[in-house]
Copies of this chain bind each other. A is one copy, B any other.
Amino acid sequence: MSGRLTIAGLGPGGSQLITPEVTAALAEATDVFGYGPYVARVEPREGLVKHASDNKEELKRAREALSMAEAGRDVVLVSSGDPGVFAMAAAVFEALEEDSRWHKLDIRVLPGITAMLAAAASAGAPLGHDFCAINLSDNLKPWALIEQRLQLASQADFAIALYNPRSKARPEGFAKALDVLREASCGERLVTFARAVSTQDQCIKTVTLSEARPEMADMRTVVIVGSSKTRRAGKWVYTPRRTES
């Protein structure tokens, strides 16, 4: 029996945002791996074994999922949002690179609605022009690189989606990031805080960069910093398609 590993994105939270492709993969699976709260989002059923693991164990989880697929099981590894955006797909390929016997495995990646897209849709269209996405966690990269990217992104006048802005283990970084952004650009830029987007707890709030405070974000928040062109239209926030020179 030949196994398979599917790396699937569950979207940001609401089941209305899970693609039919991912739903079908979960219906066929024998095993589902992932961070506890994401595995909990998968409907239990007979014949499906759930393997929930802790937050910091991505590589270990990836190796276990690969081993189980190698053993002939139909394994789905779930991420929140899109598995390719600051999530499990890169961890799987890191593990796969270590061990060439996994190169022949049947592996597929199924995309999902990543948090910034759902957040942008709830606010209007702040990502309607060129933009970037930066992970504010410095667990896996030096903080100086994050600051440099924030400065260059401001200089390029991108809208900037900030993932993982703030957690209990990293209470200080987001405050520093806001300082870097205020120094690099105008304080009137619009900043949207989107918390628990697409769930019943959803909360969307837009302020100016001058008004933005670190405590407006937590680990369930994605932050979208507008470009210099991002503006309000009624209750909406959007970035026009047109930019004059």
Question: What is the CA–CA distance of A128 and B86 in the complex, to the nearest angstrom?
Answer: 5
Q: Which of A124, A130, A236 has the most CB of B within 10 A?
A: A130
Residues of B within 8 A of A55 (CB): none
Q: Which of A29-37, A44-52, A146-154 contacts B (4 or more CB under 8 A)?
A: A146-154
| Residue from B16, B117, B155 in contact with A84 in the complex, judged by beta carbons closer than 8 Å | B117
User: Contact: B103 with A111, CB < 8 Å?
Assistant: no
* Copies assembled: 2
Question: What is the CA–CA distance of A141 and B128 in the complex, to the nearest angstrom?
Answer: 13
A121 at the interface (CB under 8 A from B): yes
Q: Which of A18-26, A69-77, A169-177, A207-215 contacts B (4 or more CB under 8 A)?
A: A18-26
**Could you name 28 residue pairs across A and B whose Cβ atoms are closer than 8 Å?**
A17-B19, A18-B20, A19-B113, A58-B241, A82-B117, A86-B241, A87-B128, A89-B125, A90-B125, A90-B128, A90-B240, A90-B241, A92-B125, A93-B124, A93-B238, A94-B233, A97-B231, A103-B233, A103-B235, A109-B124, A112-B113, A129-B135, A130-B132, A130-B133, A140-B242, A141-B244, A144-B245, A153-B156
A145 at the interface (CB under 8 A from B): yes
Count residues on chain A whose CB falls below 8 Å from chain B CBs.
Answer: 80
Residues of B within 8 A of A14 (CB): 21
